[in-house]
Amino acid sequence: GENVEQHPSTLSVQEGDSAVIKCTYSDSASNYFPWYKQELGKRPQLIIDIRSNVGEKKDQRIAVTLNKTAKHFSLHITETQPEDSAVYFCAATLANNLFFGTGTRLTVIP
């Protein structure tokens, strides 16, 4: 199956700074990479996704980049706000299933 690694496990940034979370995957057949945000006690919510035929995708303050050759993808959050504080999960899809990273706990310090 697919093996997804995610770094860092925790990340603290000052409000207004940028945050970057990085993931790698093992199976080159994976072709879809979503990112989920999970607030404390809540369900994971899809925030952005990217397919393997695209190198970068942006949605307001959130962007995702994908390097298929190196098999890694990253989440970039600019101008962070306290409400961005949450756990973020990356994932890669293979054969009908999503394989999740272990999560990054982002804390935005006001």
Binding site residues, other proteins, CB under 8 A: 32, 34, 36, 42-46, 49, 89, 93, 96-103
When the beta carbons of 1 and 110 are compared against other proteins, the nearer one is 1
Closest to 90 measured CA to CA, from 10, 43, 34: 34
Q: What is the DSSP string of 67-83?
A: ETTTTEEEEEE-S--GG
Nearest distance, CB of residue 92 and other proteins, angstroms: 10
Nearest distance, CB of residue 103 and other proteins, angstroms: 5
Cβ–Cβ under 8 Å, residues 12 and 74: no
When the beta carbons of 37 and 63 are compared against other proteins, the nearer one is 37
